[in-house]
Structure 1
Amino acid sequence: MFQLSRQTVGRQRSLYAGSFVALAVGVFMLGLAATTTAATIAYHLPASSTIGVTTLGGPDTPPQHVRIALANADVSGLQTVLSMVGAICGFITVFVIASTFAFAVASRRRELGLLRLIGATPRQLRRMIIGEALVVAFAASVTGAIGAQLATPLLLRRASYTELAPVQLEPASPWVPLAIAVGAGMLVALLGARSAARRAGKVAPIDALREASLEPPRIGPVRIGFGLLFLAGAIVMLSLIRPSSGDGAVPLAMFTPMVIVIALTLLAPLVVPVVGRVWAAPLVAWTHVSGRLARSNVVAAPRRSASLAAPILAISAIAGSMVLSLSFAADSSAAAIRDAVRAPVVVTGSAPVTDAGVKAADAALPTELVRIAAEYAQLEGVEGIDPAVAAQTRDLGVLDGDLRRLTGLTVAVSKEMAGFEHYRVGDEIPVVFLDRTPARLRVVAIVKDAFGVNPSFMIPLDVARKHSPDAQVERTFVLPADGVAPGELVRRIPNAELASDWEAAQSDGLRKGNQFGLVMLLGPAALYSAIAIANTLLMSGLQRRNEFVTSRLLGATDRQLQRMVLWESSLVGAVALTLGGATTLTVGILIRRAMTSGLTDVPLTIPWNILLAIAALCLTLAVGAALAPAAYLLRSVGQSVPSTMRNSRSTPSERAASAS
């Protein structure tokens, strides 16, 4: 049976070319993430860039000695980004491969019926399809792995000495990460082909006699059950995106669309015809025949339409949700900074503020320390403050305890951190300062969250200076003396600006950082999705030769058929973008509600240019990838139409000229 699978793939190269390219690119992305992660793991930190600490241990975990990288040698940011890129690419790969194999089986329904007619059993057909998947997967995985190995040095050169990896990274041994990528590619192919193989086993011998490629009108109860199960899980995840979720709201907003995409893809044969009819109503009224044919093709073949819509739905829902989530996160951060800063003037730089018109200058000292927990140790950013001055220049919002007791080895903790670690006033937090001095900081206050203004941990200013003598002040919040206008201080003090201008600059910087993160996370996934959309639609177009021949014999012109393909691909894209847009809108509303709780006058920034660009790119790819094979097939069909049929459509004068 495997020999038959190999021969089938060789004979059906055009049918499996899309699956090969999609899987090869997917394994390339996974392999690149794996080899780069291996380089970060293999990087040996110099002793001067680490601090050795011993965890506290717990009932089930003994104390362990670990080394924590300092900020100037920490590559965990790159590891986090790579893991998210791998997860997104792997997720999209599963759906792309599943849709391409499902389409391949649907287009070979008559061939599979012939095999059943000559005695092949459903089990043999399933094994044949799985064998074809293994043949394609092995070739594509090896190709993608080789490409990833060749591209790894270039990516490491680009990533070195950046914010994500402030060190020089060198390639590590590629065998383990590439083996993982190849294995993941094989597994993804098997997962994607499994449902297609089951569908192939259900093909009846009578399908060998069918000329029309009609699909069963119903989908199985198992698929419906899993679709409803994932939909219920998505609803539960959506219900968890609320103000009490804290920092967990953003990961939920990023991963919930994946669960929604799974549910919608499983239920797509039921959902696509309904949404397709809605979009087709104005199209039919405007175009009449071509629009009606496009609607009939989309509605009559919901499985094929669902396979074509799957990659568009996946990238539009995931990308749109991430774009909105990060934009709303920047909005809430800007509002939090504005609400937390009371001082009207901000001075950047380390120079001390000594102007006579200054009533209070909050020159906080940023530094770091290693916080030790029961099972881990973590580098934390802290700030040394003078609580009496800081309380005048910013809203510290003491929720419990007393900031006046912030003296000696004490610490004030933000509400969010206290909630995560269950800190209470009076608790002691084991830490190690940058000068390798261990200490236990007693919690004397819990303050409100103010991202960008108040860090998660604040210690006395003299303690910060003692243990971090090289630390430099980065910004000073300045409160003018009575009768002194803020604008006058801005003119007199170097590097001073109004707090409103500083807040706007912080917001712009955060948005630029978010855009960089979007490029890192969605750039590879978007490129891969674009290839997948084009591949899937090209496969669909190249299998419609018989349909075009029949339509030409019935009198349809090339222009009419091209318009039909145009409207059909537009309908499929519109359906997918509608479902993706609904997902994006739902997640966006919930994440904004969660992030803006407790804030006033939060700006609403919707990046329409990015969202519309995603939609336009998906539609352009869908239409272009559908029209290109249609034009090619129509040229070849025009040569195969009998001359008598061409003469029957010619004018009398043309027939007379031809006869002479």
Structure 2
Amino acid sequence: MFRTALRNVLAHKARLLMTVLAVMLGVAFVSGTLVFTNTLSNALQKSSAKGFDRVDVAVQPKWQKGSGDTVGKAPELTQALLDTSARVPGAASAVGVVNGFTAIADKDGKLIGGGFQSQGGNYWGTKDPRYPLVGGRAPSGEGEVLIDSTTAERAGYRVGDTVRISVDGPVLTPKVTGIFTTDDGNVAAGGSLALFDTATAQRLFGKPGTYDEIDVTAKSGVGQSALAAELDKALPADRAETVTGEKLAADQAEMITASMSGLKQGLLVFAGIALFVGTFIIANTFTMLVAQRTKELALLRAVGASRRQVTRSVLIEAFVVGTVAGVTGLVAGIGIGAGLRSLLGALGATVPDGPLVVSPDTVVAALVVGVVITMLAAWLPGRRAAKIPPVAAMSSLHAKATTRSLVLRNTIGALFSAAGVAVVLAATTMNGSDGQAPMGLGAVLLIIGVFVLTPLLSRPLIAATAPALRAFGVAGKLARQNSVRNPRRTAATASALMIGLTLITGMTVVAGSLQHSIDKMAAAAIKADYVVSMANGNSLSTDVDKKLKATAGVTATSPLRNAPSRIDGISEYLTGVDGSTIGELTALTLDSGAFEVGGTRVVVDDRTAKSHHWKAGSSFTVNYEDGKPQQLTVAGVYEATEMMRGIMLDNATLAPHQPDVTDMQVMVKTSGGASDATKDRLEKALGSNPGIKVQSKQDISNSIASMFTLVLNMLYGLLAMAVIVAVLGVVNTLAMSVFERSQEIGMLRAIGLDRRNIKRMVRLESLVISLFGGVLGIGLGVFFGWAAGELLGAKMTTYELVLPWARMALFLLLAATVGVLAALWPARRAARLNMLAAIKSE
């Protein structure tokens, strides 16, 4: 039986090629994902570890927790602590580290880096071992700066050039005195790094005479733990704590692994989808292969082969196919992993250098996935073939499925579908994340149920195409009859395409609805024409509001400030606003009371009011950041939005209790409304600062929506793999169907149907099957998109379902295109059959 199985594999090489390709693509996706994420994780970890090579022990501020109604804060690392650290036994040197946001503009005035990755720091002394100079000298004073070599290369800066830099408010134009190399992870991720001398960095970052961290290097022969122990003895325990360089590197590696885990899981989900779709194709292929060899298998049974041996012979074939697909998929996956790393570089993301990592786990996973998926898909056809009595098989009495089996299948499909719909509907009534798992379970049950029911659904849906197919004459009529001749095969072929289009349509519905909701959210929350903020989300200097107020055409501004506080022992953030103008700049719905902000009168959003049992007229005591209490009165309660919420009080009331007065945003209203000219005027008033964003309501919507668009486009690319596998399935089904119907096609040719109509028949059959899968996929996608939107609506009050009719029409056109393209080779093969040879074939 083993030799027989091997001969069958070799005898049907062409027929099994598509199956191998389907499995190979899924395996390649899995192994490529593992290679890519392992390679990227390894490179980032090694790059990060280099950054800690010169740090044996790091001294960090110890966060002091607040007691009672006092807000906690971190103590400062002073020069005295730095000097003490340098003198402890076992310490070779100690370096004070200062860092903060620093935006560097390119020669066109645009921000370099991604905002959050735009960093600045201090260069220690005349030769800092952390940042080796590749040209120039150390900086001295506010008029000089060092920049990293990657940023210098991207922007075309050289030693001696003047560069525009923003730290906190005013724009600086220092001279580049040197260029350095660095292993900093932010730079590796596409950011930038600027270095000033220590005194200048402390002044610019608002930390005069203090440091963010103290890095201590051990003397030769002194271990990191021993040095940390000495530092713990010498430094005040309530102000500083020590962390070894090994611990820092391990924590960083763990963070990188955790961040890569999310990416890996996301990619593997789509690899699983491709394999799931491929499973239908494999099962379909083996079903047809077994059907074509029914008489051969019956003869084996007649000469003494047992049912188990027949099933085993089919599984051996599947094992060989799976092994070949697993090996080729692994090789292709290594190429995909290398390609993804190169693609990141081409898209502008800086990836640290490192070897391509092909771990033993990746090799095992590729082979196991290839073999197990193929054998599982082939088991049912093999078992079904073994159960056919030899005499019935040789007489072809087994050809049609029994009524009992169809009733059982339809009953199971109906139960799964009903359960899936019920679970999804139940999940939509839950709160946010609580409904995610049930909705995922319901989606799986519904897809399985629809797949099982697809043979039943195929007849009425395909019958609906009869009027359109009549226009093609005999070829159209034959195509429709061929499509419903074997409902199970049609179902398996259409289901592969259905799953891909279900996911694509569902994501498109959610993304389109989110875009509409974001636009509505921005319009509903604020009346301001512009919102001004820092590119990295940090605080703005109060000078920004002053400059904006003095700008021609500005009619009202309000800085927004965040400040921690404690109310009834609970931490609450306060939002400081300009009480005299905030009403002109926001469009909030008032539930009760009056929208009055000033003195001790505040407004509170409905959720906060409910949690504290407040209403209009209620009084409460707030303990500010400096620990001082004050009684405030709720003037009004407003409906919270995604953009505006919390306790709003006047900045004049809040400012005396803030150690450092800074703004998070400034809302601006102008006489002429939002326009390019007005935006340009505001940017120039702020000194064309690369670190400051001036955004209209539409800009805010677009920036949020761009993230969804980027993710959506990535998901489209990933799901294209599932669609490609589905195309292979259609090609495979049609090719084998043509082989099965060789005698029939020969007879059609003999009685007058020409080659052109034979091709048309096969193409129309493929088109009908693909459109059937497309209609099911789009229908399920809309349902799942609506259900996911119901979950989002619980968190986003402005969420509203929007159906992208144009996109859905495009997806249906895509399904039709898949059908036409997939039929090219099978149709050509059918038309070229020799009619006499075909009539004589069995």
* TM-score, structure 1 as length reference: 0.73
Task: Name the CA distance, whole Å, in 2 between partners of 1:472 and 1:171.
Answer: 46
State the 1:7 CA deviation.
Answer: 1.6
CA drift at 1:89: 2.4
- Give the counterpart letter for 1:494 in structure 2: E
2:48 maps to a residue whose letter is: P
Residue number in structure 1 paired with 2:786: 589
Q: Distance in 1 between matches of 2:62 and 2:452?
A: 49
Q: For residues 206 and 611 of structure 1, do their structure 2 counterparts lie closer, same or farther at Cα, with a shift above 3 Å needed?
A: farther
Structure 2 unaligned spans of 5+: 53-57, 64-246, 535-539, 565-571, 598-603, 614-631, 685-692
1:200 paired residue among 371, 385, 389: 385
- TM-superposed CA distance for 1:227, in Å, is 2.8
2:406 & 2:782 partners in 1: Cα distance? Answer: 30
Match of 1:5 in 2: 5
**What does residue 155 of structure 2 align with?**
none
Matched-pair contact (CA < 8 Å) for 1:569–1:622: yes
Q: Does 1:550 align with 2:739?
A: no
The residue correspondences of 1:516-595 to structure 2 (distance < 5 A) are 516-595=713-792
Structure 1 residue 267 corresponds to structure 2 residue 453: yes
| Distance change >3 Å, CA 524–CA 159, structure 1 → 2 | farther
From 227, 230, 247, give the equivalent of 2:416. 230
Change (3 A) 1:32 1:599: closer
* Paired positions, count: 581
Q: Which amino acid aligns with 1:493?
A: L
Distance in 2 (alpha carbons) for counterparts of 1:561 and 1:213:
29
Q: Distance in 1 between matches of 2:469 and 2:778?
A: 23
SS at match of 2:545: coil
1:363–1:568 distance in 2 versus 1, CA, 3 Å: same
CA distance in 2, matches of 1:298, 1:34: 40
Distance 1:33 1:599 in 2: 33
| 1:532 CA displacement | 3.6
The aligned counterpart of 1:85 is 270
- State the shift of 1:497 in Å: 6.7
Aligned 1:399-414 pairs, distance under 5 A: none
**Correspondence 1:319-358 to 2 at 5 A:** 319-347=504-532, 349=534, 352-354=544-546, 355-356=549-550, 357=554
Deviation, structure 1 residue 614: 3.1
Counterparts of 2:606 and 2:29, CA distance in 1: 39
Q: Aligned partners of 2:674, 2:455: CA distance in 1, in Å?
A: 64
Cα 1:205–1:458 shift into 2, 3 Å: farther
Deviation of 1:128 (Å):
1.6
**CA offsets per residue over residues 151-182 of structure 1, 9 Å max, x none?**
32221232369799976675334221221122
Q: How does 1:136-147 map to 2 (within 5 A)?
A: 136-147=321-332
Specify whether residues 5 and 245 from structure 1 end up closer, same or farther in structure 2 by C-alpha distance, changes over 3 A only: farther
Cα deviation for residue 290 of structure 1 reads 2.9
CA RMSD for the aligned pairs?
5.0
Q: Pick one of 238, 242, 253 that aligns with 2:428.
A: 242
Q: What are the within-5 Å matches in structure 2 for residues 3-402 of structure 1?
A: 3-42=3-42, 43-44=44-45, 46=48, 67=251, 74-75=259-260, 78-159=263-344, 171-210=356-395, 214-218=399-403, 219=405, 223-224=409-410, 226-242=412-428, 244-246=430-432, 257-280=443-466, 282-283=467-468, 285-347=470-532, 349=534, 352-354=544-546, 355-356=549-550, 357=554, 359-363=556-560, 385-386=575-576, 393=585
Aligned counterpart, 2:159? none
What is the SS of the residue equivalent to 1:361?
strand
Aligned residue type for 2:576: D
Greater alpha carbon shift after TM alignment, 295-304 vs 612-621? 612-621
Q: CA deviation at 1:28?
A: 0.6
**Structure (1 or 2) with the larger CA radius of gyration:** 2
The offset of 1:115, in angstroms, is: 3.2
Tell me if structure 2 keeps the 8 A contact 1:553–1:641. no
Q: Is the aligned partner of 1:620 residue 2:838?
A: no
The residue identity in structure 2 corresponding to 1:126 is T
Measured after TM superposition, the shift of residue 12 of structure 1 is 1.5
How many Å apart are 1:335 and its aligned residue? Answer: 2.2
Name the CA distance, whole Å, in 2 between partners of 1:90 and 1:52: 50
Q: Which amino acid aligns with 1:153?
A: A
Question: CA offset at residue 235 of structure 1?
Answer: 0.9
1:476 counterpart (646, 666, 670): 666
Gap change, CA 1:284 and 1:222, over 3 Å in 2? same
Tell me the alpha carbon deviations over residues 539-563 of structure 1, each in whole angstroms, 9 at most, x when there is no partner.
Answer: 3334432221233344433233333
Instruction: Deviation per CA, 1:437-496: give whole Å up to 9, x if none.
Output: xxxxxxx99997755x369999999999989x9x996x532256xxx5645975752278
Structure 2-normalised TM-score? 0.58
- Using a 3 Å threshold, how does the CA distance of structure 1 residues 254 and 501 change in structure 2: closer, same or farther? same
1:374 corresponds in structure 2 to none
CA distance 1:144–1:324, change in 2 (3 Å):
same
Q: Which amino acid aligns with 1:307?
A: A
Please state how far the C-alpha of 1:271 moved relative to its aligned partner: 2.2
Structure number with the higher helix fraction is 1
Alpha-carbon distance change, 161 to 17 in structure 1, aligned in 2, over 3 angstroms? closer
Q: Is 1:328–1:595's contact at 8 Å kept on the other side of the alignment?
A: no
Q: In 2, distance between residues paired with 1:363 and 1:12?
A: 72
One-letter code aligned to 2:666: T
Residues 304, 204 of structure 1: alpha-carbon distance in 2 compared, 3 angstrom cutoff: farther
* Amino acid of the structure 2 residue aligned with 1:478: V
Distance apart, 1:297 and its partner CA: 2.1
In 2, the alpha carbon distance for the partners of 1:577 and 1:526 equals 11
